[in-house]
Amino acid sequence: MLAVNNNRQNFTARLDLTNIKLNKNRWDNISKMFAEKTQAFPYTFEISDSGRQLDIYAFSDELDIMKRGCTLSKSGTKKLMALPDEKITQKFIDLLDNFKYQDETLVTSLEFLNKLKDNDKYGTLLYPYFPDDQSIFSRIFHQVLVKMNVDRVSVTENDAIFKDAKFLFYM
């Protein structure tokens, strides 16, 4: 069964700029603004600027079972970098809000599934009931992942920066 790690505490989100090669001073400024504006968000964004595209990977200090991120298109990267530092910071905050909402959806769903498992009197939740050998648990959990993706699409599909980014999440 999947678990949530609530033992670590971090009182600000941060940008890890280890893999940034260009515009280091600008990125340092964006990183400071991001940390200031994301009090109580225990996330790290690893940013990489290889190949004229930004890769952004988000890691939660509290929910370490899931990784998520995106690769901006070349045009999305160009549009992002044309923005003032404050607006770039806000774009990262918007992305963080979306990832945080996805994490809340996942945690709520896992809590529900764990309660079902604890009260599974007849042992049917994890039994491979369906013809494709999936359990009821697997079917429910898969639909949660679909919902998380649909939520992300609804937030990013009209955004000039993120609409054509390649998003991923994995466990």
Measure Cα distances from 140 to 78, 116, 126, 129 in Å.
39, 11, 11, 13
Residue 18 reports pLDDT greater than 80: yes
Going by pLDDT thresholds of 50, 70 and 90, the confidence category of residue 1 is very low
pTM of the full structure = 0.84
Q: How confident is the prediction for the chain on average, in pLDDT?
A: 88
Q: Could you tell me what percent of the chain has a pLDDT over 90? A: 67
Going by pLDDT thresholds of 50, 70 and 90, the confidence category of residue 48 is very high
List the single range of 31-35, 59-63, 76-80, 138-142 with lowest mean pLDDT.
59-63
In the predicted model, what is the mean pLDDT of residues 159-165? 95
Going by pLDDT thresholds of 50, 70 and 90, the confidence category of residue 11 is low
Beta-strand relationship, 14-19 and 67-71 = unpaired
Cα distance between residue 33 and residue 94, in whole Å: 14
**Residue pLDDT, tens place only, 76-135:** 999 999 999 999 999 999 999 999 999 899 999 999 999 999 999 999 999 998 989 999
CB atoms within 10 A of CB 157: 10
Kindly give, in sequence order, each residue whose CB lies less than 8 Å from that of residue 125, ignoring residues fewer than 6 positions away: 113, 116, 117, 135, 136, 137
Residue 71 reports pLDDT greater than 50: yes
- pLDDT at res. 6: 39
